[in-house]
Amino acid sequence: MLIRLLSLLVLPLAALIGIAAPASADDISATGRGVVRVVTIAVVDDQVVGFGHGSGFAVAPNRIVTNAHVVELAERYPDNVVVGVVPTEGDKSYQGKVIAYDVQRDLALIEFTGARLPQTALYTGPIDEGGAVVSLGFPGNVDLATARSAADYIRPTSPVRSEGVFSGRRSLSDVEVLLHTANIARGNSGGPLLDRCGRVIGVNSAITRGEEGDSTFGFAIADTELAAFLREAKQPYSAVGTPCTSIEERLRQDSDADVRAAADAAAARRDVATQAALSRERALEQARIEAERRRENVMAIAGLLLVAA
């Protein structure tokens, strides 16, 4: 029993499907426009013999990050396997080429031409355990339920959003990964794991297969591994290190700022009133002193007149 509980089998998420098988946007939706479906089509003697797909996201207008296992066949058999990039918007898909490939980290970089995608940003700051995370991608079980033909897999559509929490950092085959509870499935491979502000914190790669009611967890290649991969590939990327601030927090901060501004204004008005009162008191005191001096002068003159008389 203990062995069964501890022996979680890690499953790759890339979907392999037989050819005959049947957000004013918020931060997450804005990032979603840079998420793509990555398809691989195997052709032998002008016949399609295999079709698979995963997910990916733009780190440059014409470059996509995905998992290495999503495009493994294209890397091994470049003359027989075509890589396709399917954006979330528009009416076209585009042929891509693998330009960087890291089996150890399970990451790949794809270049394509014909369109420019919104670039996602990588968050490089600390991630709090228990914090909200969001997965974007194209889970195969959703496709199986909704696709009417193979053509639907290369037709632009919006990614599926799934929310969960960040459960900590782990090591998987000597690669740093993020453990999380956002629901992902085969087909989510290579899709981004985001913080609640829509910044990329990891690349979804695998799930655990629970037994006898065990919970299922997702693994995402960590931000540190992604950044190292991009540096080694000499691929510039956008990075942000400032903590995420929710709309509620921003509103609260704005409200607090308004309260502070009102308090400062009231204090300034009190200071002005205090200074005005002090000025009036000084003026009255000066007037009293002047009046006293004039009275003394008058008395002195009167005394002199009396003496002279």
The 10 Å Cβ neighbour count of residue 301 is 10
What separation in angstroms does the CA of 122 have from each of 133, 153, 195? 14, 27, 10
Same domain, 133 and 254: no
Q: Are 221 and 174 in a shared domain?
A: yes
Note the pLDDT of residue 2. 27
Do 215 and 147 belong to one domain? yes
Residue 247, classed as helix, strand or coil, is: helix
Q: Are residues 230 and 113 in the same domain?
A: yes
pLDDT in tens, 196-221: 999 999 999 999 876 655 678 999 99
CA 6 – CA 3 distance, rounded (Å): 5
Counted domains in the chain: 2
For Cα atoms 79, 43, 146, give the angle at the middle one, nearest 5 degrees.
Answer: 130
- CATH number of the domain enclosing 236: 2.40.10.120
Distance, in Å, from the CA atom of 236 to the CA atom of 230, rounded to the nearest integer, reads 7
Using the 3D structure, point to which of 222, 244, 266 is the last residue of a domain. 244
- The domain boundary, picked from 213, 228, 244, lies at 244
Q: How confident is the model at residue 260 (pLDDT cuts 50, 70, 90)?
A: confident
Backbone angles phi, psi at 101, to 5 degrees: -150, 125
Average pLDDT over residues 231-248: 87
**Token representation of residue 267:** 């204090």
CA distance 150 to 37: 13
Residue 29 sits in the same domain as residue 176: yes
pLDDT of residue 143: 65
Q: Whole domain around residue 293: which residue ranges?
A: 246-309
What tokens does 227 get? 């950044």
In the residue annotation, 53 being an active-site residue is answered as no
117 lies in the same domain as 176: yes
| CA of residue 15 relative to chain centroid, distance | 25
pLDDT bin (cut points 50, 70, 90) of residue 25 is very low
Percent of the chain past pLDDT 90, that is, above it, reads: 51
Task: Tell me what percent of the residues of the chain surpass a pLDDT of 70.
Answer: 78
Residues 255 and 148 in one domain: no
Concerning whether 106 is annotated as a catalytic residue, the answer is yes
The confidence score (pLDDT) of residue 295 equals: 73
β-bridge mates for residue 173, sequence order: none
CA dist., res. 20 & res. 32, Å (int): 29
Domain boundary among 228, 244, 260: 244
Residue 5 has pLDDT above 50, yes or no: no
Same-domain pairing of 71 and 214: yes
Query: 249 pLDDT exceeds 90?
Result: no
Residue 198 region, left (φ>0) first, then alpha (ψ -120 to 50), else beta? left
Both structure tokens of 55: 């997910």
Identity at 176, one-letter amino acid code = E
Residue 69 a catalytic site member: yes
pLDDT, one tens digit per residue, over 103-151 is 999 999 999 999 999 999 999 999 999 999 999 999 977 765 555 555 6
Q: What is the reported pLDDT for 124?
A: 92
pLDDT in tens, 41-67: 888 888 777 888 999 999 999 999 999
67-80 per-position pLDDT tens digit: 999 999 999 999 99
Question: Counting beta carbons within 10 angstroms of the beta carbon of residue 2, is it exposed (0 to 12), middle (13 to 18) or buried (19 or more)?
Answer: exposed
Q: Are residues 162 and 289 in the same domain?
A: no
Cβ proximity of 102 and 68 under 8 Å: yes
Q: Which is higher by pLDDT, 238 or 17?
A: 238
- Pairwise pLDDT comparison (282 vs 119), residue with the higher score: 119
Active-site hit among 27, 55, 69, 223:
69
Amino acid at 195: D
> Given this model, what pLDDT does residue 302 score?
61
Per-residue pLDDT at 192 exceeds 90: yes
List 27, 102, 106, 143, catalytic entry: 106
Q: Per the residue annotation, which of 135, 189, 205, 223 is the catalytic one? A: 189
Query: Is the confidence at residue 234, as pLDDT, over 90?
Result: yes
Whether 221 and 282 map to the same domain: the answer is no
Q: Six-digit token pair at 95?
A: 């042929």
Quick one: 101 and 239 in the same domain? yes
pLDDT at 7: 34
> Does 100 share its domain with 169?
yes
